[in-house]
Amino acid sequence: MSTRRVVVTGLGALTPLANDFPGTWERLLRGESGIGPITAFDCTGYDCRIAGEVRNFDPASGFKNPKDVRRTDRYTHLAMGAAAEAWKDCGLQEGSFDADRAGVLVGSGIGGLRTLEEQHSILRDRGPKKVSPFMIPMMINNIASGHISMQYGLRGPNFAIVSACATASHSIGEGWRLIREEEADIIVAGGSEAAVVGLGLSGFAAMKALSTRNEEPTKASRPFDKNRDGFVLSEGAGVIVLEELNHAKKRGAKIYGEVAGYGATADAHHLTAPAPEGAGAARAMRIALQHAQLRPDQVGYINAHGTSTPQGDICETQAIKSVLGNHAKKTTVSSTKSHLGHLLGAAGSVEMAICLKALETGILPPTINLDEPDPECDLDYIPHKPREKKVDVVMNNSFGFGGHNACLVAKRLV
C-alpha cells in the first residue's frame, strides 16, 4: 500500500445557508435552517413547495470570462463559485506547481437539469432549429470539471463521477486514491447540484421522497426524528483541494486535516431503498477504517448521510452500530442536512468540509429539529445545539440511489 499521504488545503462551498463556507459554518453553529418557500419558479399545485436555494449569488463570480455564464448551466455556476473559493483558500499560485500533476474530479448527480428543461420547452414550442448549440455542453455532468481545469490550467486527471448522492464523496475518495498512487499531487474535488427546477421537484415528489411540511419549511428536514416525512431538495456546491502532504508542507500551506481512508461499496439490493440493516453502508465504513488503519473506537464524530427519510435514517443508525459496536453510543453523530436540506451530488463535499472544520475547531455542529427522537434511532445525534468536543478522527457518510455507498475518514494531522 502506498505511503503517500493526502491532506486538505482548501475549502469552498455555496449552500442554502451562505454563499461561502465560513458563512455556512457560522450559521450551522447558530442552529439555523436554509430551507424556505421556493422562489425560483411558480410551484403552485406541487405537493412539495419548499427547498434549499442558493440566494443572491452572482453566477459570474467564479468565472474569469463573464461570457461563460451564458454558456453554462446553474450547476456549473455553483461549481465554479465553490472552486474559486477553495482555490483561493489553498493559496496555490500559477506557475508554482506542476500543472500536469494537478487534476479535477468535480461531479454532479443530475447535471444541467435546468438547461434540459428549458431547451426541451424551446424544442416543443419553437422547433429544433431554435435549440441552443450550447445545450449539450451546458447539460452534461462532466462540464463543470472541465471548466475548472480550463480556468486554472490543471492538466492532470479530469473526470466526473455520477453516483447520485454519493457523487461528491466518491470524487474526493478517488482523488485521494490518485494522489496516493502517484498519479497526481493536487486534486480539486467535490460536487455541484442545481435540481431545484420543476422537473426535479416533481420527479422526487412523484417518488414520495420529499417532505411536504410546506407550512413549516425550517422544520421540514428533521433527520432521526420520529415525525420526519422525507428529505428537502436543495442546491449548492462543495469543492475541496486535496494535496500530497509533502507537496503542501514544502509551500507552507495551511492544512485542515488528513484524508486517511475511503470505502466504496454497492448494496446490489434496490433502486432507492437501502440494504437491510444498512449492510452496504457498514461495509463502506469498515473499508474506510481499514485503509486509515484506525479502530472503530477511535472515531470521534460522524457526519451522517441522515437525509430525514423514514427508512434511510434507521438503516444508517444500524450500520453505525454494526461497525462501531459498543463505541457507537459514545460517538457523536449529526446530520447537517437538518440545516441544509439534501444537496444530492454536492452533499458529500460540503459535509466533508464541515467534518474538517470540526477537526480544526473542536466544535461539532448539531442536528436541528430533533424534537422527538425515533426509538430506532438511538445514538447521540447532538440535538439542537453545537457541542465543544475535541476529536481526532471524523467520518463522513454518503449513500446514493442505485445502492452506491461512500465513506470518508479524516484525522487530525500529526
The percent of residues in the chain predicted with pLDDT above 90, rounded, is 97
User: What does the alpha-carbon distance between residue 86 and residue 410 come to, in Å, rounded to a whole number?
Assistant: 18
Give kind and range of the element (H or E) at residue 290: helix 279-292
Please measure the distance between the N-terminal and C-terminal CA atoms of the chain and give it in whole angstroms: 20
Q: Could you give the CA distance from residue 394 to residue 304 in angstroms, rounded to a whole number?
A: 11
Q: Does the pLDDT of residue 213 top 70, yes or no?
A: yes
> In this predicted model, what pLDDT tens digit does every residue of 354-363 receive, in sequence order?
999 999 999 9
Assess whether 404 carries a catalytic annotation: no
pLDDT computed for residue 414 by the predictor: 85
pLDDT in tens, 267-284: 999 998 889 999 999 999
Query: Residue 377 pLDDT more than 70?
Result: yes
Would you say residue 184 has pLDDT above 80? yes
Q: What is the mean predicted confidence (pLDDT) over 305-314?
A: 96
Q: What's the mean per-residue pLDDT of the chain?
A: 97
Among the listed residues 43, 165, 315, 407, the single catalytic one is 165
pLDDT above 90 (res 181): yes
- Given this model, what pLDDT does residue 104 score? 98
- Which tens digits make up the pLDDT trace of 331-348? 999 999 999 999 999 999
> In the annotation, is 342 catalytic?
yes
pLDDT for the residue numbered 2: 72
Question: Tens of pLDDT along 133-174?
Answer: 999 999 999 999 999 999 999 999 999 999 999 999 999 999
Per-residue pLDDT tens digits for 21-39: 999 999 999 999 999 999 9
All three cell numbers of 204 = 422526487
pLDDT number for residue 198: 97
Is residue 384 flagged as an active site residue? no
Residues linked to residue 146 through DSSP beta bridges, in sequence order: none
Give the pLDDT band (50/70/90) at residue 1: low
Burial class (CB in 10 A: 0-12, 13-18, 19+), 375: exposed
- Whole-number pLDDT of residue 69: 96
For the chain, what percent of residues have pLDDT higher than 70?
100
* H helices present in 325-408, as ranges: 337-340, 347-361
Q: Which of 170, 291, 305, 404 is catalytic?
A: 305
Q: Which of 342, 377, 404, 407 is catalytic?
A: 342
The 10 Å Cβ neighbour count of residue 196 is: 25
